[in-house]
Amino acid sequence: MAHALQRFRVVGETRRLPIGAELVAGGAAFRVWAPAAKRVTLVLEAPERREVVLRPEPGGYHAALLDNVGAGARYRYRLDDDDGGLHADPVSRFQPDGPFGPSQLVDPRDAVWTDGTWRGISNPCKQVLYEMHVGTFTPEGTWSAAAAQLPFLRDLGVTTIEMMPVNEFAGRRGWGYDGVNLFAPFHGYGTPTDLRAFVDRAHAIGLAVILDVVYNHFGPAGNSNFTYAPQFKHRIATEWGDSIDFSHDGVREFFVTNARYWIDEFHFDGLRVDATQAINDERSPHVLAQIVSGARAAAGPKRIFIVGENEPQDTTLVREYGFDALWNDDFEHAARVALTGVSDGYFHDFRGSPQELVSAIERGFLYQGQLYAWQRNTRGTSTRGLQPCALVHCLENHDQVANTGFGERLAAVSAPAALRALTAVLLLGPQIPMLFQGQETGTRKPWTFFADHDPKLNELVRKGRAGFLSQFARLATPEAQAALPDPASSTTFEACVLDAAERDFGRPIVQLHRDLLQLRRETACFTDQRDGNLRGAPLGDSAFCLRWWHEDGDRLLLVNLGATFRQSVLPEPLLAPPEKTGWRVAWSSEHPRYGGAGTPEPFTIARLAIPARSAVLLAPDPSAYLRVDPPPESGEKDPVDP
């Protein structure tokens, strides 16, 4: 579809973006924000060497219009009289040799798109997200190889790829959160053309793609942004490095332009904005609101989806800044504790109880302003008035798996039956579910932190990572610290690469995910966002229920994470079926095709029984009506077992 491209008039020129290098009729226009430099020299390195001093413009900009320069030309900038220092363009569209090499001119108009009828993410509440790291999703680690696997994700029931950051970073491998050339797709994954082809292919088979972006810091290696403009650097650092000072117009323009760029030139269907709590801004409107509005303007009539990560759980992002949703770590934390029993470190304030899981499904955040002992402070804000799909739930994501220290997947550290049960809770719940790559196949491949820098910086990364993990008592022991995977080792990275052969619908765990996502897609109540449509209640120390009401049919999900649950006294009205009906099993995590042992009907006239470590979905059935007529003798005449 045609995107609503805003053209920028800059000193008599019409540009696609207000900054960067762009091809124009007969040549190329270069413009860079470098308020720290009195003189900026453009150094063309290929196909032939030329040097041109850019003309200064108000506000710290420098620009030039050159003829006979085409796509593929390579260039860098020299600031003032630094003869030995050449720097990549801060708005480079491609760094074929990495951040320390020259920038390459790219013509986005050469892209061949076939998604003219694509309308984006029309209904966020019906999305199923899939977090993907391109470098480890396939052995090849490229966009082209990943694109070949997209039909599997579509057939599984995924609707939207959430691609981890792809901006250029230093080294051969990394998570992408230490980007330094934020407009340049990482050269190790392929070319900008390859990334466009990935998105176009996804759209062709009905998948949306959103991009994870990092606007709270730059990476520690290859970063020239502070050299061009010290104004980028805030006086207060984040835990990942120097933070960004958004008080300057040039800084705001840079990041808002970046958000627009990914939506416009690569047809991404939205953004996931990383660690928004570290994006501090005292101006109004907040820069996050400007980023969101800029991205939406770039999308034109296409509906895009913007989700934020925010550790303090501040719903201002949704209520005021225009975000569609926030990640809900509380659900993940409670579920992980329920599955593993591990509750040290930042899991301190979670018990994995039925009450926590029910509250997370009903109300979203578990902490909405009350005491959070781990931080010795209050945490969170109210979700009152927000739809459930204003939150994203998961059992695994890139942070939480890696923060186990050794990167164990839940499939490796939890009981298979219990994991199947909580997978049902995730995929049938009203929040937007997200899978982390490999989760759907039950992979045992670990996911750990990895990076690739020079020896000195590698050592700092090792120490920093080990220090962070020491908040977990078990990982603070000398033996655990000594055994932690080395983030700089190629072996650590290679262990994380997924095996495409595991993407087999004959595998029980894959069937489980596909069947649950089909249920979610075809059963209206599961994505119904109306208030009062869903309620839940604990039934015991390890069991709980979720009840949906819907004109197309009610549903009851019984979940038991412990030993077989039997109870004849049932003072919980959510268990009551619709009038003159009973409950019949519609689906069970204990079906043999998933590796289970079968499921007898849970309700009889004598009791409720839920198999150990199971989730059982029930639908109303008049033939299962339990009412006995004429009624038998009541307890006053024939005492029941106490």
Q: Which residues are catalytic?
A: 274, 309
Report the distance separating Cα 445 and Cα 118, nearest Å: 35
End-to-end CA distance of the chain: 68
Give Cβ neighbours of residue 265 (< 8 Å, ≥ 6 apart). Answer: 16, 108, 111, 196
Are 210 and 203 a contacting pair, CB within 8 Å? no
Secondary structure class of 495 (helix, strand, coil):
helix
Residue type for position 314: D
Radius of gyration of the chain (CA): 27
Q: Encoding tokens for residue 186?
A: 């990482």
Nearest to 98 by CA among 217, 179, 13, 211: 179
Report the distance separating Cα 143 and Cα 124, nearest Å: 25
Secondary structure class of 554 (helix, strand, coil):
coil
* E-state strands within 462-541: 534-538
- DSSP 8-state assignment for residue 54: P
> Which neighbouring-strand residues pair with 217?
243
Report the distance separating Cα 529 and Cα 388, nearest Å: 6
* Residue in this structure with the two tokens 């509440």, named with its chain if needed: 125
- DSSP 8-state assignment for residue 107: -
Torsion of CA 258, 261, 263, 267, to 10 degrees: -140
Chain centre to alpha carbon of residue 79: 38
Report the distance separating Cα 618 and Cα 575, nearest Å: 10
Report the distance separating Cα 182 and Cα 169, nearest Å: 9
Report the distance separating Cα 471 and Cα 464, nearest Å: 12
Report the distance separating Cα 137 and Cα 438, nearest Å: 8
- Write out the H or E segment, with its range, that includes residue 305: strand 305-308
